[in-house]
Structure 1
Amino acid sequence: MPDEAQTPPGSLLQLIDNLATFHREHEKYYAQAPLRQAAELQARSRALKALADRWSDVEAGERTSAVAFAGADDLNAPGLVAESGILFMEGEGEPAELGRLRREVGVLAEETEQGGAWLTRAMEEAWEIAGSLAAHPALADLLGERHRIIANDWQSAGLQALVARLLRRGLDLLARVDFSPEALRADLRGERQAPAYLYSASELFDRAADLMAESATLVHENERRWRVFRARVRLLRSA
């Protein structure tokens, strides 16, 4: 049976048991959600690359139909319409699906930034609580595990802040492109700047997706540490 003189008081054990239980469950979600978001972001990036590939080589055409909803043969990338829904039409401006892509990336940037800021604040407090546990020898051998959990989460928070920056800069680059068929054809006849902006934006999105996956890996790495730490806390509470 643990020495009571070395064991944290019951109120503190109850607190850290609560944290170990519910934060572990919270992290189960954040070990998976960024992977799904990263896959969706990569799909958006592929769409931008497909358009950039098309516009790097194709010769600018002319409007081929007086019907506003006719597809623009020269501007649509092969296979992309079915995959992403992005369809350039003769009498329209920016495709609605491309506008939605940009809005969704903007929402993702906002949510990621907010999540990273919240996690940073939470780890500040967790760091102080973990430091106070050093006064209790019954937990001394697990303090490395607890601080590693905090370090991983803190690093994840920093990655989330960087992801938000990358996404917003990618959106800034896309904002420099006029996606109306008329403007795109003028660009294709001139300096072809649109493909360059799309390639760069997609590269920023790709890096953001990589960092989102890295963030999920850091959080997932905490699973065993939480389990071991909580088991010790519950043992001490039962004693």
Structure 2
Amino acid sequence: MDETAKSGPDSPPAAMLDAMANLARFHREHEQFYASAPREQAVSLQRDARTLLALADRWSAVQPASPSPLNPFEGADDLTAPVGLQLRGVLFMDGQGEPVELVHLKRDLARTADDLRSGADWLAAAMQSSWDSARALLDFADFADLLGERHRIILNDWQAAHLADLAGLSLHRAADILGGVEFHPVSLRSALARGSDDQRRLYSAAELIARAADLLSESAELVHDNERRWRIFGARIADLSNSPPACPPGSAHQG
């Protein structure tokens, strides 16, 4: 295509339009994933929080038992919460140690926190770069009415990054709190009999995990808000390039 046909005094040069078209296509599709994935992650975290709440409620309502199991795999009725068993499979057994499901829960919290924080750092840096690059659009009249849309996309993603970072911080602290609880049945019963604060620690950890889930849902909502903005922005680029948009309006599945 002729270079002069794609550019003019009010439009970016062809190379810039091509780069913008690439962003509008691939980042729109990328964000459709991140408009839903954090919500799925939030549901999983809510399940973990409810598991801990159920255990805390159980430990607050029963007296620790002193069982003499005939089988080392007998369930500990005083420590096991039916809701926690259903949600995460947490079963305390009288002749065993810490339930493996709780080991996995704590491990998953730490891993998720690390992933959220590293991803948030990358996204925040990317949005700083995008914000700086978007300054060039101010020079072109053909984008005068879409400056708000383009910058809102960046701001939404930037804010989503901060929310993900806060979610990661919350999960790290929840894991730290859980690290202070001895989940071995013998030790746990002894601590509860002495009036320990283990159940209160579980309540606190559950609250932090639930808050992280809420933050992730909010981040997904922000990213989802970009769908229409990317579509409009991409359509303008296609119009200026005299080519069809990469994804016609209404043809994409919104996340």
TM bucket (normalised to shorter chain) is over 0.9
1:237 aligns with 2:220: no
Q: Which residue of 2 aligns with 1:97?
A: 101
* Whole-Å separation in 1 of the counterparts to 2:105 and 2:42: 14
Structure 2 residue aligned with 1:162? 166
Q: CA RMSD in A?
A: 1.4
Shift of 1:72: 1.0
Distance 1:94 1:41 in 2: 21
Identity %: 48
Q: Paired residue for 1:63?
A: 67
> Match for residue 23 of structure 1?
27
Distance 1:205 1:94 in 2: 21
Equivalent-residue separation in structure 1 for 2:49 and 2:209 (angstroms)? 6
- Find the counterpart in structure 1 of residue 212 from structure 2: 208
Q: Which moved more, 1:46-55 or 1:57-66?
A: 57-66
* Residue correspondence of structure 1 range 189-200 to structure 2 within 5 A: 189-200=193-204
SS at match of 2:82: coil
**What corresponds to 2:89 in structure 1?**
85
Count residues in correspondence: 239
Indicate the residue corresponding to 2:116 in structure 1: 112
Alpha-carbon separation, structure 1, partners of 2:88 and 2:157? 34
Match of 2:139 in 1: 135
Superposed displacement of residue 230, structure 1: 0.6
TM-score (norm 1): 0.96
Residues 52, 84 of structure 2: 8 Å contact kept: no
Verify the 8 A CA contact 1:56 1:192 in the aligned structure 2.
no
Structure 2, unpaired ranges of 5+: 244-255
Range with bigger deviation, 201-210 or 65-74: 65-74
In 2, the alpha carbon distance for the partners of 1:201 and 1:64 equals 31
User: What is the CA deviation profile of residues 55-86 of structure 1, one whole-angstrom value per residue up to 9, with x for unaligned ones?
Assistant: 01100100231422111121111343233211
Distance 2:18 2:100 in 1: 52
**Contact kept in structure 1, 2:6 and 2:242, CA below 8 Å:** no
Equivalent residue number for residue 10 of structure 2: 6
SS at match of 1:214: helix
1:103 Cα deviation after fit: 1.1
8 Å CA contact retained: 1:10, 1:237: yes
**In structure 2, how many angstroms separate the alpha carbons of the residues matched to 1:218 and 1:82?**
32
Do 1:2 and 1:138's aligned partners in 2 also have CA atoms closer than 8 Å?
A: no
Task: Give the distance between the partners of 1:27 and 1:215, measured in 2 at CA.
Answer: 11
Q: Give TM-score scaled by structure 2 length.
A: 0.91
Structure 2 counterpart SS, 1:195: helix
Please point out which of 180, 195, 198 is paired with 1:176. 180
1:224 is matched with: 228
Unaligned runs of 5+ in 1: none
Q: CA separation in 1, counterparts of 2:7 and 2:78?
A: 78
The answer to whether residue 50 in structure 2 is matched with residue 42 in structure 1 is no
User: How far apart are the structure 1 equivalents of 2:17 and 2:96?
Assistant: 64
Structure 2 counterpart of 1:36, one-letter code: E
Q: Closer, same or farther in 2 for the Cα pair 1:126/1:61, shift >3 Å? A: same
- Partner Cα distance (2:181, 2:44) in 1: 22
Cα-to-partner distance string for 1:175-212 (whole Å, 9 max, x where unaligned): 00000011111122112311010000000001100000
